Structure 1
């Protein structure tokens, strides 16, 4: 980046990186965009115009994307707004970028920002009912239909996983159903997105120790990503039928909380022996996966901050992905992950990984052994599906303690750009 200030306005010249791989080249442009926005905000500028002088649409859009994502801030609880970014508008002049393409990018980035906002909210504000209210308020702007099932309706559906995890809480659970169903949707059977909505995870009676409870307000990042994705799709007007399911509660110890050895009966009638109450996310997801069957989905994708095992294996640069009867779709998702640089590392769901989930007192246990935790969690979820299914463990990249270029600090909104890109590719 070369800055000039000989004119009435700042002029910045950004060169397209010399990188043969197009996905890596776009990622370098996003990172360059983050540096550009930092410079513009340091100068207290409000507007920027990007000239695509070489008609490099992909690189120009990636640069703008990095500028917008890098400029995000969560300042809701700051009494002093010192350091607040001033950049509010980015205009793009290009011969090869359509208004529709820009509108789709804007919608996607708005969805990411909404997801980040939800993930960054503290549990003192974002209880499960508040989570539902915030989502309802936002998605109605985009014309998405929403139904929020309260505790009585969850009890009527016999969702023992959600109800069991919620037993230690002083707040009721909710089950959020979102639907984007355009009149001219090109898919006959819906894509279902399921997001884990644990608004705070203490570990329950298997209480987390030391600093392991830090940032557990982010355990609903999967649910937030589902809401953000639906918002992006509807705002962009993409003609694709998508349903979002978000089971939400917190996980706390308490006089009535579930304990190790308890047995829960799930929505589909299967019984689960609770070996560890800190493996709660899979319990609420299992009910959602069973509930999804009534829609006869073409494909179901869940996004969840599910295991520390995935974080230890992959760090914060990638998510773990597993598939069941969805090999072609999963490969497309892997490709999309590299395109938007929300990368996925595929893990196997081999049958023998399920051996550790066998229970002497119930149909299945909620955890396996100490090894391959991310995979055995996926195997647990697989037991509640009989349709094409992809599981994404986003525990690593969903939240960053330190700033990382345009991904920022705090909630990253991971999953939104990935799924939007996946759907756009499926539409072609």
Structure 2
């Protein structure tokens, strides 16, 4: 019997902007760095407590430092460090606050710790946060992302769901107009929802998550949304239409491959038609070129690129962005069996180009090549972008918090990098080194799957062969797609990296 997964998408914290501070509701205030240390006087004032109370619990201005403290009338307050008040520090602070409240709600009741008597551990699932006078669009976005994503949790369990923080009220400063602030918060929460769904899909265990489940879940979530249609192609359709790369990778598994197509067609669309391709390998053993056992369990997240594309398309539709976007998620399970593809095989992709297989663990580029060729031939795109956990080389080059960005078009590269910066996701542009282009040329076939040379670069050059010269960007998220510990709004496990960048990219194209 397969385990029952948590409800997908995961319920996130609701966030709203209000005018009035509410007595009796747990609240949080920022501690900023002053001229001579943390400004505890300003932080203590809204609660009517002596700054010594904050000093006693060790409150500081360090971004993300969260300290609860008892209030004179009962209940608790939260002091949250925001450093010098930079917008990015508010994202870190919001995430740390969400985690601290989650832990408290899930803790034992009637406990007392070093802060003194703080009452019931599950005393409220609502929280209010006082906004600073300088709260602009960027600060509101960063804080909302932190609050919505910092307390994210995905756990397959038979236990009852743990209590969680349900709503945060952001209390506007002075007589600020809250309606524009509410719109900013609504959009930021959609960005968070895209990230959280991408995390859900990647965190789902692969004994449940096969290609049919992944693509079917994407279709089910898309069906209620306006202007968004979803189609799932099965293995027979893929064979009839010559998707040799997807079929080769999925050939070793008893669970056959699929192709998900998400078509977003808003009325009055402006700008270019963008096609997004996301790698959807639901588990990757490496095939006959078997991976080492250590770390193989993480290969349930090898469809993180596909998850980002699905999450982004749903958010784009909910936001009603006026840009024509198509998402493609080629999905397969790379397994070991007598029907698995082999090193030395020649595979014919959609459109006829052939690939000489060098390593069955370089499977992502095989499924992506089919989808890119299909996009060029059938979808008439103006721009192409793919996102994948593609190469270990990118983890070596850029570490675990930065995505690799390759592009044939400078304007597209700039837009991706700016979209990521606005979303709190960092990209570093990598070169498409023409000195290595010859290495992609095949001896036995048109192209080689595993050319010699720098792995991340040559993988990108291989994919470029299937883009027909269109403006194209390739996002390698092998490093930042997974996290081994919490940091800022990122939680351990799948991170949902790239989903927010894709949404912001489309929003920028709408304004072009």
Q: TM-score range by the shorter chain?
A: over 0.9
Q: Distance in 1 between matches of 2:101 and 2:362?
A: 45
Alignment of 1:42-81 (within 5 A): 42=104, 43-44=121-122, 45-57=124-136, 58-75=138-155, 77-81=156-160
Q: Work out which of the residue numbers 442, 447, 456 in structure 2 matches 1:374.
A: 456
Task: Give unmatched runs, 5+ long, in structure 1.
Answer: 20-24
Q: CA deviation at 1:152?
A: 1.3
Q: 1:310 to 1:344 in 2, by over 3 A?
A: same
Q: Work out which of the residue numbers 86, 90, 97 in structure 1 matches 2:164.
A: 86
Q: Deviations over 1:179-233 (max 9, x none)?
A: 111112222x311110000000000111112314230111100001000000111
CA contact (8 A) 1:203 1:251 kept: yes
Q: CA deviation at 1:340?
A: 2.2
SS where residue 115 of structure 1 aligns? helix
What corresponds to 1:38 in structure 2? Answer: 99
Which deviates the most, 6-15 or 249-258?
A: 6-15
Q: Distance in 1 between matches of 2:440 and 2:216?
A: 36
Alignment of 1:123-162 (within 5 A): 123-143=206-226, 144-162=228-246
Are 1:115 and 2:198 an aligned pair? Answer: yes
- Give the root-mean-square deviation of aligned CA atoms: 1.8
Q: Distance in 2 between matches of 1:315 and 1:306?
A: 14
Q: Deviations over 1:49-73 (max 9, x none)?
A: 2332404122233122101110110
Q: Work out which of the residue numbers 408, 424, 427 in structure 1 matches 2:507.
A: 424
What corresponds to 2:323 in structure 1? Answer: 240
CA contact (8 A) 1:27 1:340 kept: no
Q: Work out which of the residue numbers 389, 393, 398 in structure 2 matches 1:314.
A: 398
Alignment of 1:218-257 (within 5 A): 218-257=301-340
Q: 1:110 to 1:56 in 2, by over 3 A?
A: same
CA contact (8 A) 1:48 1:90 kept: yes
Q: Work out which of the residue numbers 27, 36, 42 in structure 1 matches 2:88.
A: 27
Q: Distance in 1 between matches of 2:403 and 2:141?
A: 24
Which deviates the most, 294-303 or 220-229?
A: 294-303
Highest CA radius of gyration, 1 or 2?
A: 2
Q: Work out which of the residue numbers 368, 384, 395 in structure 2 matches 1:285.
A: 368
Q: Distance in 2 between matches of 1:263 and 1:232?
A: 39
Q: Deviations over 1:355-375 (max 9, x none)?
A: 222322111110112x41011
What corresponds to 1:408 in structure 2? Answer: 491
Q: Work out which of the residue numbers 44, 69, 72 in structure 2 matches 1:6.
A: 72
SS where residue 123 of structure 1 aligns? coil
CA contact (8 A) 1:49 1:91 kept: yes
Task: Give unmatched runs, 5+ long, in structure 2.
Answer: 1-30, 32-42, 44-67, 105-120
Q: Distance in 1 between matches of 2:402 and 2:160?
A: 33
Counting helix residues as a fraction of each chain, which structure ranks higher? 1
Given the two structures, how large is their TM-score scaled by the length of structure 2? 0.78
What corresponds to 1:361 in structure 2? Answer: 444
Q: CA deviation at 1:421?
A: 1.7
Residue correspondences, number: 418
Q: 1:49 to 1:142 in 2, by over 3 A?
A: farther
Q: 1:415 to 1:7 in 2, by over 3 A?
A: farther
